[in-house]
Structure 1
Amino acid sequence: MDRTTAYAAAPGLAPSPRPAAPAARSRARRATPPAPAPLVRDLRGRAGRGPRALLFARHDLVVVTGLPGGGKSTLMRRAVPGARVDSQDTRDRWERRMPRRLPYALYRPLVRLSHYAGLRRALAGGGGLVVHDCGTQTWVRRWLAREARRRGAALHLVLLDVGADEALAGQRARGRGVSRYAFARHRAATARLLAAVAAGRPPAGCGSAVLLDRAAARALRRIAFVR
């Protein structure tokens, strides 16, 4: 079991410091402690022998991102027992209500509005939340990072590293895909994000990031929040 709050050293008792001079105390009050560096955990290449659970603090926010067809929704449905917001669920609800012959492109803006409205309602609850992110809408991550700061919590990133061929196969398996143009945008955005995270530079506002390949994602059984 993997607890993200355990990546950093646990706080301990330090020797009592000697009283500081008045000028030193004044400078200490003005000084702002540096923010801790984001923590990156790479679980790829372990043949599924990685952790079976990722645990986060009770008010944290978790973003699951990667290529369309890469298994984000499958992972969330299997591993998230609590609150989650998945744009795929929103699309499925709208498709059940719409005529079969009506192209998705015609009501896609309504699906997106409905998804973001649902995300806003879920955030208002103040509890831990797992959110599906398509990867191209970077403003969503900025929104979530602001919300995490507002509630005194942290934003975490779970990135699925799945190749383009595997992702396209996943789209075919579910009988639904995205256009070549949209997939190219997703692929470019995901590649940039993957390179940055692998180099230890998660997006601004992220307190930690976890990299998963297919095997690690299949082995993961739980993404939850500590009460």
Structure 2
Amino acid sequence: MSTSPGTEHATVRPPGRGGGGGAGGDDGPARRPAGFLAPRGVVDLRGRNGRDVTLSYPSDAAVVVAGLPGSGKSTLLRAWSSAALVVDPRATRTSYEARLPGWLPYAVYRPWARLGHLRRLRSEIRGGGPLLVHDCGSRPWMRRWLARTALRAGRPLHMVVLDVGPREALLGQHSRRRVTSRRVFGVHRRGLARLLARVEREGLPAASGIGSMVLFDRGLRDRVTEVRFGGGRT
């Protein structure tokens, strides 16, 4: 990680075959800054609220932006949408809503909308080019599916996790006027808490298929001003 006046840059690279990983500046070799848990592939930027941050990935990377419903994933993805194609399940749901009668409850066609989202996601992962994926990140089966799909496509998979906490996420839901049911929110909260506890304790398991994970907190969320995709794989 290198710094320049007013901006802190975090370059996240997938681990090499030997299991190592690195975070380095754009103009020098990788080195371990405070908060980087090498060789497990986790960059913990929580508490780094003094400067803006730019994340840099390989040009063919797929990055999953995860966090509780209401944590600010959509806002972050809108800010980053000029850097890469964004795949958001709400876009698929909206397309189904536009084609079906308004009186038909979403619960009736939810399975088909979810299947349509997975099909589109698989197609975009196979297509190459930088990709940003909107997902809560709390479901192990979805993380495994994304990792397998990316591996088969021969592209690196990374995660960015917004760790803002349940209270902040609930406030975010109310501010956007889309409140998740208590049951669904509880499932996501427990799943994400288990994931964070594991990576904080052990780092990323080698078998996870995820090359790196960057952790943000509430204070840093609004200061991640840019994501860059460029260069080859490391």
1:1-227 matches, cutoff 5 A:
1-5=9-13, 7=23, 10=29, 37-47=39-49, 49-51=51-53, 53-81=54-82, 82-202=84-204, 204-227=208-231
RMSD value, Cα: 2.4
Deviation, 1:65, is: 0.9
For 1:80 and 1:55, the matched residues in 2 are separated by 14
Deviation, 1:209, is: 0.8
- Higher mean Cα deviation, 36-45 or 217-226? 36-45
Q: Aligned to 1:68, what secondary structure does the other structure show?
A: coil
Q: Aligned to 1:4, what secondary structure does the other structure show?
A: strand
| Overall identity of the aligned pairs, in % | 47
More strand by share: 2
Q: Aligned to 1:221, what secondary structure does the other structure show?
A: strand
Deviation, 1:92, is: 3.2
For 1:206 and 1:37, the matched residues in 2 are separated by 13
Decide whether the 8 Å contact of 1:60 with 1:148 is kept in 2. no
Bigger relative contact order, structure 1 or 2, given CA contacts below 8 A and separation 6+?
Answer: 1
Deviation, 1:97, is: 4.2
Deviation, 1:50, is: 4.5
Decide whether the 8 Å contact of 2:125 with 2:150 is kept in 1. no
Deviation, 1:215, is: 2.4
Q: Give the corresponding residue for 1:27.
A: none
Distance 1:213 1:92, change over 3 A: farther
For 1:97 and 1:223, the matched residues in 2 are separated by 34
Decide whether the 8 Å contact of 1:43 with 1:213 is kept in 2. yes
For 2:167 and 2:101, the matched residues in 1 are separated by 31
For 1:131 and 1:99, the matched residues in 2 are separated by 28
For 1:151 and 1:97, the matched residues in 2 are separated by 31
TM-score by length of 1: 0.78
Decide whether the 8 Å contact of 2:42 with 2:214 is kept in 1. yes
Aligned length: 202
- If you compute each CA radius of gyration, which structure gives the higher value, 1 or 2? 1
For 2:62 and 2:90, the matched residues in 1 are separated by 19
Deviation, 1:95, is: 3.5
For 2:160 and 2:56, the matched residues in 1 are separated by 12
